[in-house]
Structure 1
Amino acid sequence: MTDAPSPQADTVTRADAEIIVRRAARALGRHGLVHAYGHCSQRLDADHFLVCTAKPLGTIAPGEAGTVVPVNGPLPDGVLGEVRIHREIYRRRPDIGGIVRSMPARAMALSALGRTPRVLHGMGSYFAPGTPLWDDPQLIRDDLAAEQLADLMADSPALVMRGNGVVAAAESLQSAVVLTWYLEDAARVEMDCLASGQPAKELSLEESQRRATRSGLIFERMWDYLTHGDPE
């Protein structure tokens, strides 16, 4: 694997970023984390990021170029309106190298209950002490709403939007994709526990901090799994 998650938000070349963004987009589509809607981006440098082309992520073809967006400036023509979420997160968090805006089914269902996944298993530990809920089902189509959402997200790795999907951010786009899968798995465990009617035992903060490790190539192995068979 030549594009594994990195420990910090390093700048990347445009050519490398294009491949990473396309592979991430197709992985999200292949594993049901997006459908017709969703987008992902990779930071290029302190002032720019690359967002995938505005089409269903699973249909993005090898070589299909994304669009460079200024971190401090208006969205270019043809870029989806909710990409302003990415812009506001990049502005506030220089450590962030990649962002995913997804539509995972179980996290969406929990959000309709006014809930986000509790920390019940190992993959959920990366979101301790919990994932914030943006309690508004409307699309983010203006700068003020995007700013308020980014402020609510603060330094969390993810945010759930009520009836409207998930935003995940990490030091690399690869890691943001992995976190998106982890959060949906946490939602799966949450729903299974709710269906059982039995009380679930949450991980303590200490247990979560110990479990949320990056050692042992944990994120790299998940990225390999999610991108296996990709044409690029």
Structure 2
Amino acid sequence: MTKDLSTAVRVAARALGRAGLVHAYGHCSARIDAERFLVCPPRPPGLVAPGEPCVTVPVSGGLPDGVLGEVRIHQQIYAARPSAGAVIRFMSPSVMALAALGRPPEMRHGFGTYFAPRVGFWNDIQLVRDDARAAGVAAAMGDSTGVLMRGNGAVVCGGSIEEALMRAWYLEDMCRIELAVIGVPGAPVIGAQEAAERETLAGGIVERMWDYLTAGDPERKS
């Protein structure tokens, strides 16, 4: 795990790129305190350079110069969820396919239980570059930690940048499973009680996924 917050944000950004969860577009951030968070540099996440400065953004108020417009989504999630320690906006292949279909995935396997009671859905194809739409995305997430955006990818949040990265990978895998079973009669869905028992962060769940996704990163041990 990475102790320095700005280093962890950069490591996570590059991990998103290596895992194919982002391409030219996408961004990640981590909360500093109740009023501020750090967002990765405004460039393709996989191209963020070691030591490249992250940007401090207020939870409330205008975005600093050069910060991407959709970082307003991060602001709204942090404002609505004091427990949120990190936010990731991404556009992975299976996520994009279900977002285009307007079909949030069901809880069908273990990783899916981390989005109980259900993945949220924001039914608007437009880019989220104003406060009203950003607040709508945060609200559409509901009690989940993930929300699909119609034809436009997804957003997840977690208690830390390490956990949020894990949840981004989990949501892509959840969507992959959903695509695989679309049209299968009687494909089972996990119920609320089973999901509550299965969704655990104990046993190094977050740490092992972080190690897997960040292996080989030049700043990983900073």
Is the TM-score greater than 0.5?
yes
The aligned counterpart of 1:229 is 216
The aligned counterpart of 1:172 is 160
CA deviations on 1:108-128 (whole Å, 9 max, x unpaired) are 101211111110000111112
The aligned counterpart of 1:205 is 192
Q: Tell me the CA shift for residue 220 of structure 1.
A: 1.0
Listed as ranges, the matches of 1:90-101 within 5 Å are 90-101=78-89
Segments of 4+ in structure 1 off by > 4 A?
Answer: none
With over 3 angstroms needed to count, the CA separation of the structure-2 counterparts of 1:114 and 1:170, relative to structure 1, is same
The aligned counterpart of 1:13 is none
SS of equivalent residue, structure 1 residue 223: helix
Number of aligned positions between the proteins: 219
With over 3 angstroms needed to count, the CA separation of the structure-2 counterparts of 1:47 and 1:176, relative to structure 1, is same
Identity %: 54
Q: Tell me the CA shift for residue 156 of structure 1.
A: 1.8
Partners of 1:39 and 1:101 within 8 A in 2: yes
Residue type at the aligned position of 1:183: L
The aligned counterpart of 1:60 is 48
2:139 to 141, 145, 151: 151
SS of equivalent residue, structure 2 residue 24: coil
With over 3 angstroms needed to count, the CA separation of the structure-2 counterparts of 1:2 and 1:58, relative to structure 1, is closer
Q: CA RMSD in A?
A: 1.2
Give me the whole-angstrom Cα distance separating, in 2, the residues matched to 1:138 and 1:72. 22
Partners of 2:117 and 2:143 within 8 A in 1: no
Partners of 1:38 and 1:57 within 8 A in 2: yes
SS of equivalent residue, structure 1 residue 147: helix
The aligned counterpart of 1:187 is 175
Give me the whole-angstrom Cα distance separating, in 1, the residues matched to 2:27 and 2:8. 13
Please give the TM-score of this superposition, normalised by the length of structure 1: 0.91
Residue type at the aligned position of 1:38: G
For structure 2, the residue ranges without an aligned partner over 5 or more in a row are: none
1:28 aligns with 2:16: yes
Moved more, 35-44 or 207-216: 207-216
Give me the whole-angstrom Cα distance separating, in 1, the residues matched to 2:87 and 2:153. 13
Give me the whole-angstrom Cα distance separating, in 2, the residues matched to 1:31 and 1:154. 27
Partners of 1:193 and 1:199 within 8 A in 2: no
Please give the TM-score of this superposition, normalised by the length of structure 2: 0.95
Give me the whole-angstrom Cα distance separating, in 2, the residues matched to 1:114 and 1:231. 38
Give me the whole-angstrom Cα distance separating, in 1, the residues matched to 2:13 and 2:2. 17
Partners of 2:101 and 2:151 within 8 A in 1: no
Q: Tell me the CA shift for residue 155 of structure 1.
A: 3.4
